[in-house]
Amino acid sequence: MAEPSPKLVRIDPLRLHIECREPMVTDATIFASEAIKLEPDAVRQLCDAASLRPAKKVLATADIHVGFGIPIGAVLGLDNAIMPAAVGYDINCGMRLLRTPFSRGDIDVDKIAASIARDIPLGEGKTNLVLDKAGIEAVINKGAAAIPALAERINHRAWEAFEADEFADDLKRIEENGCLPADMAAVPRAAIQKGSAQLGTLGGGNHFIEIQYVREVFDRSLAETFGLFENQIVVMIHSGSRRFGYEVADQYMNIAAQRPEMAERKKMLSFLTANTDAGKNYIAAMAAAANFAFTNRHVMALLVRRCFNRMFGPTPLPLVYDIAHNMAKLETHRGSRLWVHRKGATRAFGGERMAGTVFAKTGQPIITPGSMGTASFLLVGTGNSDESLCSVNHGAGRVMSRTAARGKTRKGKIIAPGLISDEQFRRSMKDIKLITSDKRRIKEEAPDAYKDIEEVIRIVTECGWARVVARMLPLAVLKG
């Protein structure tokens, strides 16, 4: 007999409630309008998350879709517990936004995109900056702050764009200043072996580099604070911890599943008590992967700057912000200390929680992409998001699986046609330069495979969690 679907009760135009029923230990909330299509399996996965013994708060943003065990777009607040699958395989996948001094029409976008694609390997399994033992140890322990030490030790073209004063400002504009407390002893050997040659690589799937222009400014004061103006060229980077993070996640999911108290659970739903040796080790290894990801995005940003410098002469490309998703952090919410897991969700602190940073007056910047071919947004947290554990969606969210989008083939024969036709894909990418390492699978990332980002952003702003600063549209897309 098929498992019954959880009962969703709409409590207002933006919120759906799932009542706590056996085996759940807490209720759950989905922040979605009538226009957002919900996958029944993703809703069931959210109920699975609400069935975890340490769960105190469980919710999902409008980009919820099926993930490994826990849906993407889920936010879990766990009491003294850490759950590798609720962080995911790509630890600290995140977004970075660089601004340029150019306006639309000032530069040859196709030419600069091609230059970036030559410098930054696109796709899975690629290598770039190779780290020796001292180099990987520096990245694990210092995160993005390891860049100057790497530049002294390793010869690489990225350092042509390194400038000390610019770097000091960059660190202030990275979540956690680009470094979390880590321990190399907790990192699986496979992560070091397979990840140490992948700094400065994009990866596959939904990772991208986009050259965009600011189509619309919604808050001129905030836009000026961030150095943004209408028609301005900006560069957005979406990537994570590569194979390094995958190996950390996989090993600790297995460790969690093997613990006697997890005997009834699957690998994808197992957790560790945070104050045990195993829990502390995962937290330290997760931090190491996060530091790798911060450094990876920074190396790519340096390579982007190098391309602009070589084409236009010395050109400042200041960092607006670098924000993480796929992370777990110990935070206080309404008096409770919880391990807040954001899987495909982004932190959205207001100014008060950003005290001591350069964003204390603005609130935390939030970089939210749509899909290739559609808009991306820059927002700021308002501080009014306690109900979501200070979290918002990390993107638009899929409406169909990758297989459904591209279809199935076997030995060159079509078994099931894709839901997205070649013509539909071409129309959705009209007037956008596309560079991809895998033309055969690129339809997996078609704009029509994703939810409407405009509706998703509307939900966030009407919930009062964030304010929109600017809306950007793509001119060139680089995909793995």
Catalytic residues: 394
Which residues fall within 8 angstroms of residue 212, CB to CB, at 6 or more apart?
233, 234, 235, 236, 376, 472, 473, 474, 475
Q: Is the dihedral of CA 76, 81, 86, 90 positive or negative?
A: positive
Which residues fall within 8 angstroms of residue 455, CB to CB, at 6 or more apart?
33, 35, 36, 62
Q: State the CB neighbour count (10 A cutoff) for residue 426.
A: 11
Tokens of 457: 């952003």
- CA atoms within 13 Å, Cβ hemisphere of 66: 8
CA neighbor of 299 nearest in space, from 429, 183, 143, 85:
143
Q: State the CB neighbour count (10 A cutoff) for residue 120.
A: 23
Q: With contact defined as beta carbons under 8 Å apart, do 424 and 476 qualify?
A: no
Q: With contact defined as beta carbons under 8 Å apart, do 28 and 49 qualify?
A: yes
Q: Is the dihedral of CA 249, 87, 299, 473 positive or negative?
A: positive
